Chains A and B, each alone.
Chain A
Amino acid sequence: MLEIKDLHAEVAGREILRGLDLNLHAGEVHAIMGPNGSGKSTLAQVLAGRDTYAVTAGTVRYQGQDLLELSPEDRARAGVFLAFQYPVEIPGVSNNYFLRAALNAIRKYQGQEELDAVDFLELVAEKMKLLHMDESLMKRAVNEGFSGGEKKRNEIFQMAVLEPKLAILDETDSGLDIDALKMVAAGVNALRSPERAILLVTHYQRLLDYIVPDYVHVLAAGRIVKSGGKELALELEDKGYQWLGVDDSQPADPSGRHSRVGA
């Protein structure tokens, strides 16, 4: 479904991704782990089409298409979804309007009929239960005044409504308490299916107790340095990154911030 070859990307002249290779097939859940500044969030943002990152070499193919050629909206319409590390607040735009416009843009692109307000609300009510969200949320502005945990849950809620083919979760677990983490995990697990692929970008092992990945990759200094099964996460938990020769005191981006630009 997703085939990344020798991907190089930079921001403001600084190379963050330095020859990254990764393959995801439908039905698989992959976790990407790595120290701060290793390029995890950059990868997520590049896949979603954020233009602050310049791809300088390599290819990304998604369902046979050149993903890098597509605008961010066309990627979304073709089924790519990024759950943001830092979801953006949009005062003045209600969740209801936003999500229905998004869903209908995707449905239209995929040749499906657009949903009217009633059908949409029905769909939404069902997905809200899954994430234990209050229906009043739909009238509120997108992420405005939401707590950190509510924002992350809202991302997963959006994902549940939009039903992407490729879901990329950028540190969705960061900052969550255990209840919120379980709800997020339930939301993601409900989406697991043979037609979908999920890419979990995370800094912590705990998420993987609730969303069990098929594959785990270690990203360091912009490249995948180790890949394995779910047991690799446990090994990392025990030994840290050093045993892989990864010096996590010297990230590719020493500020540790660039990977968050636009997140």
Chain B
Amino acid sequence: MALLDTKETAAGVVASYLARFSGLDPRPAWLHQRRQAAFARFAELGFPSHRQEGWRQTNVARIAESIYAPQPPLPPGELVPRLRALELPGVDWSAEAVRLVFVNGVYAPGLSSPGAAAGCRVGPLAPLLADEPDRVAPHLEHDDERDQAFVQLNTAFLADGAFIEIAPRQVVERPISILHLTTGCKERKGVAHPRTLVLAGRESQAAIVETSAGFDGDVYFTNAVATIELGDNARLEYTRLEQESRAAFHVSKLRARQGRDSRFTAHSVSLGGALVRNNVHAILDGEGAVCVLNGLYALDVAQHVDNSTILDHARPLGTSREYYKGVLDGKAVGVFNGRIIVRQDAQHTDAIQSNKNLLLSDSAATASAQPQLEIYADDVRCTHGATVGQLDAQALFYLRSRGLGLEESRKLLIYAFAADVLGRVEAAGLRPALEHLLWKKWAE
């Protein structure tokens, strides 16, 4: 992959973003003011350097040194068949589905099926930005994201997005799907800054699956931001499924704030992308909140995936479970940074973190894990563990000694390694579809 063609200077890249920024529709005015402030902040921060804390293992030079511009939408006659050919376990194409599709950052009404029924509002964000700023404005920016250049860049280009609101006590049975498809090529690298806002009312229950995907070989940069608010006793299962092109770059930020007794489960499955950085920040901001961060990254060739998570226990009696597993082949690099903060007020916190990696190639793939515990309360239970291993030679021999072939045995053990992560996926129909996709991947 000849990705390192022409290197741009940092100033040149910022100037290119500025040029496009200047071309944005300055309406609504309140939003544009915010975008201007965000752009100024982004220009001030610049892209993170790999000398910077939190970015030491992930060098975003390939994002920072190239010019990416939004690509025009593909003609429907070309788009639809190509989209159909992608295996996207997270996207529900059936007639009953509630689904939002964005192509190159632009809402695609023809492919979407928004929902307004049953106390649940699912649709594009743009109408709310124009007509109901009070509903959405408080959730578009957060003080704890002021130093995050990618989030600022996303806000600077915020014009639309996915909006999901679940009314109090509503139970939405069918998972809601969101798809971001981005295109681009080496000569015209694409970009999208998807934004998702989820407001889960008190005692509501829902599942959301957000997929980022692209066509094989396409070159582009996806810079996604999702903000989720969970009311008291709400239950939300959110899946981020990253299936970008192997030549694409993907940066995501998920910020979830949980009310009292709420339960938030976030699955992160990373399969594609040349360079991927997923940031998760979960704030257990009500007593008795439960948060499960469940992640799987299955990589090969020279893919680099960095999962950086913060679990912020701000109130007492919170429980968090964090399980990330990586299957690394070729020269892939898996990075896991897991930070757990237990605030002074968060007594009786119960936090378990685990990161396990399976290296398939003999020495070329690498995995690193940095747990980081910051505990300011005195009555808590926090544990963490990280492992890096290879396929168990004894298990492999055991399977073969029963007649299973070498390749089948390997595949079975890889699959078994990942099985518990997939086993935590509850959203209807998603787990078997994911299993099918992974089984095929490892059968290659």
CB distance from A125 to the nearest CB of B (A): 20
B398 touches A106 (CB 8 A): no
CB distance from B192 to the nearest CB of A (A): 36
B74 contacts chain A at the CB level, 8 A cutoff: no
Please name all residues of chain B whose beta carbon is closer than 8 Å to the beta carbon of A77 when the two chains form the complex. Answer: 403
Report B236-267 residues with CB < 8 Å from chain A CB: none
CB distance from A62 to the nearest CB of B (A): 14
Q: For residue A82, which residue of chain B has the nearest CB?
A: B401
Please name all residues of chain B whose beta carbon is closer than 8 Å to the beta carbon of A82 when the two chains form the complex. Answer: 401
Q: For residue B415, which residue of chain A has the nearest CB?
A: A92
A73 and B405 in contact, given A88-B394, A88-B398, A262-B393 (Cβ under 8 angstroms)? yes
Please name all residues of chain B whose beta carbon is closer than 8 Å to the beta carbon of A88 when the two chains form the complex. Answer: 392, 394-395, 397-398
Give per-residue flags for B384-424: 1 if the beta carbon is below 8 A from chain A beta carbons, else 0: 00000000111101111111111011001101111110000
A84 touches B419 (CB 8 A): no
A7 contacts chain B at the CB level, 8 A cutoff: no
Query: Number of B interface residues, CB 8 Å?
Result: 24
A72 touches B397 (CB 8 A): yes
In the bound complex, what is the Cα–Cα distance between A98 and B413 (angstroms)?
A: 11
User: Given B392, B394, B395, B403, which contacts A102 in the complex, CB threshold below 8 Å?
Assistant: B403
User: Given A87, A90, A162, which contacts B403 in the complex, CB threshold below 8 Å?
Assistant: A162
In the bound complex, what is the Cα–Cα distance between A73 and B406 (angstroms)?
A: 8
A102 and B397 in contact, given A90-B416, A91-B416, A92-B416 (Cβ under 8 angstroms)? no
Q: For residue B417, which residue of chain A has the nearest CB?
A: A92
In the bound complex, what is the Cα–Cα distance between A231 and B333 (angstroms)?
A: 62
B415 touches A72 (CB 8 A): no
CB distance from B392 to the nearest CB of A (A): 8
Report A36-70 residues with CB < 8 Å from chain B CB: 48-52
CB distance from B393 to the nearest CB of A (A): 7
B413 touches A72 (CB 8 A): no
Please name all residues of chain A whose beta carbon is closer than 8 Å to the beta carbon of B420 when the two chains form the complex. Answer: 91-92
B402 touches A262 (CB 8 A): no
A158 contacts chain B at the CB level, 8 A cutoff: yes
Please name all residues of chain A whose beta carbon is closer than 8 Å to the beta carbon of B405 when the two chains form the complex. Answer: 73, 105
A49 and B401 in contact, given A90-B395, A262-B393 (Cβ under 8 angstroms)? yes
In the bound complex, what is the Cα–Cα distance between A92 and B395 (angstroms)?
A: 12
Top 9 A-B pairs, shortest CB-CB distance: A92-B416, A92-B419, A76-B403, A102-B402, A105-B403, A72-B400, A88-B398, A106-B403, A73-B400
Question: A81-B401, A93-B413, A109-B403 given. 13 additional CB < 8 A pairs?
Answer: A50-B401, A51-B397, A76-B401, A84-B398, A88-B395, A88-B398, A92-B416, A98-B402, A102-B402, A103-B403, A105-B403, A105-B408, A262-B397
What is B's interface to A at a CB cutoff of 8 Å?
Answer: 392-395, 397-406, 408-409, 412-413, 415-420
A-B contact pairs, 12 of them (CB 8 A): A48-B401, A50-B401, A72-B400, A73-B403, A76-B402, A88-B398, A89-B395, A91-B419, A92-B415, A106-B403, A162-B402, A262-B397
